[in-house]
Amino acid sequence: MMDLSVEIPGLFNYWIVIILMMAGFYIVISHGNLVKKIVGLNVFQVSVFTLYISMSKIDGGAAPILDETIKSYSNPLPHVLILTAIVVGVATTALGLALIVRIRDAYGTIEEDDIIELERTDT
């Protein structure tokens, strides 16, 4: 674990986060299937969590659990924020999926293009 953190060059963690973030962003804007869009949002979300958690890491810092023998801890505040964010993220995912089920009830499809087409022929 220590070796790993030494090998990683300075800004590499942010670049990984950005690659993952853009993957999620691409899924959201380029795919018409609503379930896939939710998966894309989740990927995006996890990349943001990773951004925060990687910022909280301090070289040689241990997990933030108090112990007499440990001198340096990771920053605990981002951990708290992300704990909250994960749970809120699941709540929003559940809401989005419920909306998808209702859309499927109303239109018979969960493809964005089909729904737009149905709306157009309707009016």
Partner 1 sequence: MALTAYAIIRLRNLFAVVILSGIFSLLAALLYVLLTAVDVAFTEASVGAGISTLLMLATLSITSEYEKKPAHSAVLPILIVVVTGAALIYGTLDMPLYGAADAPANLHLIPRFIEQSGTEIGIPNIVTSILASYRGYDTLGETVVIFTAAIGVLVLLGRGHNRWRPGMRKSVTPEDREEEV
82-111 binders of partner 1 (CB under 8 A): 82-84, 86-95, 97-102, 104-111
Rounded to a whole number of angstroms, the minimum distance from the CB of residue 12 to partner 1 is: 7
Rounded to a whole number of angstroms, the minimum distance from the CB of residue 120 to partner 1 is: 14
- How many CA atoms within 13 Å lie on the side-chain side of 44? 15
Residues 32-51 that bind partner 1 (CB under 8 A): 32-33, 35-36, 38-40, 42-43, 46, 49-50
How many residues of this chain bind partner 1 (CB under 8 A)? 92
| 8: helix, strand or coil | coil
Query: How far apart are the C-alpha atoms of 73 and 83, rounded to whole Å?
Result: 18
| 73: helix, strand or coil | strand
Query: How far apart are the C-alpha atoms of 45 and 29, rounded to whole Å?
Result: 15
Rounded to a whole number of angstroms, the minimum distance from the CB of residue 119 to partner 1 is: 10
Query: How far apart are the C-alpha atoms of 47 and 75, rounded to whole Å?
Result: 19
1 vs 120 by CB, closer to partner 1: 1
Residue in 1, 3, 120, 123 binding partner 1, rule: CB under 8 A: 1
